[in-house]
């Protein structure tokens, strides 16, 4: 269920920066995801994972999980890693993709656990996920995801993104394109290929992941 950003009871995020708020399930766990623009990750809680909207030519790199859902490649930080190191490693493990080094942070997602399930430990009320925008340098033959979550990779055109990504991921994709547009003609081909993408149009509703 997507909420009106003006209804979000959140004192740490400026309302004008909010991109979406959605209630959904990660497996059995109910969560509320609040996406917002940022250039620096928040310091009031930890960032546990990083993901990227990465483009190769005129297509977006996506990965498919074992439940058949498509999303942005990325994952959790390991002990001692920087955000950049974790992003580079995760994208390679999941998609066998090498990133160009000029990727840029453009948003974060606040992850709140709206219900505490029996037998689970909740050391923090919420954590963050960092979202980056950038480009793929090259693809290698696909391998096996060490975490066993990702089963395939794909390259989506604009229409495929609208039809296969979750609605809030389409919003994040649009914001990534806006970020890349500020870099001049560096990403001109991508911007022209995705010029008709509108986050309020076709996109799948949030659900279990």
Per-residue model confidence (pLDDT) at position 8: 39
Count up the domains in the chain and report the number: 1
Distance from C-alpha of 87 to C-alpha of 131, rounded to nearest angstrom: 10
Q: How many residues does the chain have?
A: 209
- Partnered with residue 20 across adjacent β-strands are 35
pLDDT of 204 over the 80 cut = no
* CATH classification at residue 113: 3.90.79.10
Enclosing domain of residue 20: 5-193
Per-residue model confidence (pLDDT) at position 194: 87
Pairwise pLDDT comparison (206 vs 111), residue with the higher score:
111
Domain presence at residue 141: yes
Domain presence at residue 114: yes
pTM: 0.88
Domain presence at residue 113: yes
Pairing mode of beta strands 126-139, 47-56: parallel
Q: How many CB atoms lie within 10 A of CB 170?
A: 23
Mean pLDDT to the nearest integer, 162-187: 91
- At 7-31, the pLDDT tens digits run 434 446 888 899 999 999 999 999 9
**pLDDT > 70: what percent of the chain?**
88
> Do the beta carbons of residue 55 and residue 191 sit within 8 Å?
no
pLDDT of 193 over the 50 cut = yes
- At 97-131, the pLDDT tens digits run 999 999 999 999 999 999 999 999 999 999 999 99
Name the pLDDT band for 82 (thresholds 50, 70, 90): very high
- What are the backbone angles phi and psi of residue 72, rounded to the nearest 5°? -80, 140
**How high does pLDDT run on average in the chain?**
88
- At 34-49, the pLDDT tens digits run 999 999 999 999 999 9
The b-or-e profile of 34-49 (16+ CB within 10 A means b, else e) is bbbbbeebbeeeebeb
């Amino acid at each position: 269920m997507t909420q009106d950003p003006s209804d979000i009871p959140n004192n740490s995020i400026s309302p004008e920066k909010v991109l979406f708020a959605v209630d959904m399930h990660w497996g059995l766990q109910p969560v509320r995801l609040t996406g917002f623009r940022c250039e620096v990750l928040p310091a009031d809680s930890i960032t546990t994972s990083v993901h990227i909207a990465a483009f190769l030519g005129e297509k977006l790199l996506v990965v498919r999980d074992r439940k058949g859902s498509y999303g942005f490649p990325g994952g959790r930080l390991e002990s001692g890693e920087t955000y950049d190191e974790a992003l580079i490693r995760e994208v390679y493990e999941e998609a066998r993709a090498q990133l160009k080094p000029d990727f840029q942070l453009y948003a974060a997602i606040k992850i709140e656990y709206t219900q505490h399930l029996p037998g689970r430990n909740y050391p923090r009320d919420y954590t963050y996920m960092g979202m980056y925008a950038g480009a793929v340098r090259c693809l290698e033959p696909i391998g096996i995801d060490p975490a066993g979550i990702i089963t395939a990779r794909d390259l989506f055109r604009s229409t495929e993104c609208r039809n296969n990504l979750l609605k809030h991921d389409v919003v994040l994709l649009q914001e990534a394109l806006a970020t890349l547009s500020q870099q001049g003609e560096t990403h001109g081909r991508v911007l022209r290929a995705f010029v008709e993408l509108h986050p309020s149009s076709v996109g799948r509703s949030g659900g279990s992941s």
